[in-house]
């Protein structure tokens, strides 16, 4: 018991010294670890024990969702960053499909993540597919009255039908759910559901994007302040997607040539676009703030930033270099969902999304404005100024010019 309390005391000191969490949250992290270590010893792998602990918190109903996430993060920080244990790889609880043809949801989701990562799908797509498959398996289990449902073409068709008829989802949402379930059936369960495609794929209509006039755009940006305004101006000046802006690294901005380099954009493609002259001074000031945050993280001994394509193994120190640091780093630390390491991630896109919504209300703009609207404004305003549509296609990263042609209808 004394050894446990001594270890927990050192863990609390580690949290405060390394600035892993806010000082007010450090005691709660220590309590979650104490509660986990007080359980009876088990021979299960560490990842399975932590997963079981979090599932027990959910089942009991005494802990809210944010508390379960906090407990999971506390245990990851303790074992991975403090104790430095590396056996954090999950394994399926059992076979995906048993002899009776029933599907084990937990094993199916684990295998789904593995197949998606093998195919190099983005993490956002992985989360979307896993969420749809979880909903589908829950629906099938309730319909069949068993915890491990049988998946067949009829079940898939019924689920998509209730999405369209009862929940009245859009065509794109229905097709997204179908793609996720189709991937599950093909790659995980080994089922042939090709006959479903003609019958359940929803027909999408043609929609025009929402575009602001130049005065409306200036009013929107004028109603914003701080880092969200800087990000919104960068998105409008270069036609960036919101995730592309959030994931910018310091090395991706070329002030001398006036270019922004987008790495691993949609479709895993690189491109370059414009860095507007207006706001460059503010960007340079923000760059110095990011450099200061980078130096503080290095002094605290935190792990380097996330590196794509296993570059952290090829270049072990690259994640700690300034050039790879985020242009818009988050104020708080978070757990890497794949590696399980607590590190500093980039700013969440929800921050700038909420700021744009609030600015639209303040500027009395009654159109349905989002961050992506600024990307549409970039393409439309360039077209109005006589820029060649092929050049706009390159700036926006569209695979075909027909996608860019939609702005001619807006004009």
Q: Which residues are catalytic?
A: 241, 266, 372, 375, 398, 407
Contact 13, 5 (CB under 8 A): no
Three-class secondary structure of residue 100 per DSSP = coil
- 214 vs 385: CA distance, rounded Å: 12
- 82 vs 168: CA distance, rounded Å: 48
Give backbone dihedrals phi and psi of 144, rounded to 5 degrees, phi first.
-90, -10
In 171-225, DSSP assigns E strands to none
How many C-beta atoms lie closer than 10 Å to residue 65's C-beta?
Answer: 9
Q: How would DSSP label each residue in 229-276? A: HHHHHHHHHHT--HHHHHT-BGGGEETTTTEEEE-S-TTS--EEEE--
- 381 vs 209: CA distance, rounded Å: 13
Tokens standing for residue 49: 């024990």
- 193 vs 346: CA distance, rounded Å: 39
How many C-beta atoms lie closer than 10 Å to residue 309's C-beta?
Answer: 10
Give backbone dihedrals phi and psi of 333, rounded to 5 degrees, phi first.
-85, 160
């Amino acid at each position: 018991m004394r050894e446990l309390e001594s270890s927990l005391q050192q863990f609390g000191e580690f949290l405060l010294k390394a600035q892993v969490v806010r000082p007010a949250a450090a005691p709660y992290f220590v309590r979650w670890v104490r509660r986990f270590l007080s359980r009876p010893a088990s021979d299960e792998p560490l990842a399975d024990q932590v997963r079981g602990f979090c599932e027990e918190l959910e089942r009991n109903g005494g802990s809210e969702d944010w508390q379960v996430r906090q407990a999971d993060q506390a245990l990851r920080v303790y074992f991975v960053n403090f104790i430095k244990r590396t056996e954090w790889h999950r394994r399926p609880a059992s076979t995906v499909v048993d002899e009776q043809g029933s599907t084990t949801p937990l094993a199916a989701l684990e295998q789904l993540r593995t197949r998606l990562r093998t195919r190099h799908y983005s993490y956002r797509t992985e989360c979307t597919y896993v969420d749809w498959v979880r909903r589908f398996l829950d629906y099938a289990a309730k319909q069949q009255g068993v915890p491990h449902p049988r998946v067949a073409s009829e079940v898939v068709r019924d689920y998509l039908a209730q999405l369209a008829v009862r929940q009245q989802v859009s065509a794109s949402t229905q097709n997204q759910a179908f793609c996720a379930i189709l991937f599950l059936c093909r790659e995980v369960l080994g089922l042939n559901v090709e006959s479903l495609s003609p019958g359940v794929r929803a027909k999408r209509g043609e929609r025009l994007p929402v575009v602001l006039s130049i005065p409306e755009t200036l009013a929107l940006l004028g109603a914003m302040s701080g880092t969200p305004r800087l990000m919104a101006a960068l998105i409008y000046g270069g036609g960036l997607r919101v995730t592309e802006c959030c994931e910018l690294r310091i090395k991706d901005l070329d002030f001398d040539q006036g270019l922004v380099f987008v790495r691993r954009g949609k479709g895993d493609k690189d491109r370059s676009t414009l860095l507007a002259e207006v706001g460059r001074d503010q960007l340079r000031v923000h760059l110095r703030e990011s450099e200061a945050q980078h130096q503080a993280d290095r002094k605290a001994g935190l792990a380097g930033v996330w590196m794509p394509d296993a570059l952290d193994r090829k270049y072990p120190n690259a994640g700690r270099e300034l050039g790879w640091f985020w242009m818009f780093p988050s104020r708080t630390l978070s757990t890497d969902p794949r590696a399980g390491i607590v590190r500093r991630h980039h700013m969440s896109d929800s921050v700038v999304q909420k700021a744009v919504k609030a600015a639209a209300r303040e500027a009395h703009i009654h159109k349905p404005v989002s961050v992506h609207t600024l990307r549409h404004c970039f393409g439309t305003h360039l077209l109005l100024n006589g820029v060649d549509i092929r050049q706009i296609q390159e700036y926006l990263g569209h695979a075909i010019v027909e996608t860019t042609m939609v702005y001619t209808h807006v004009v």
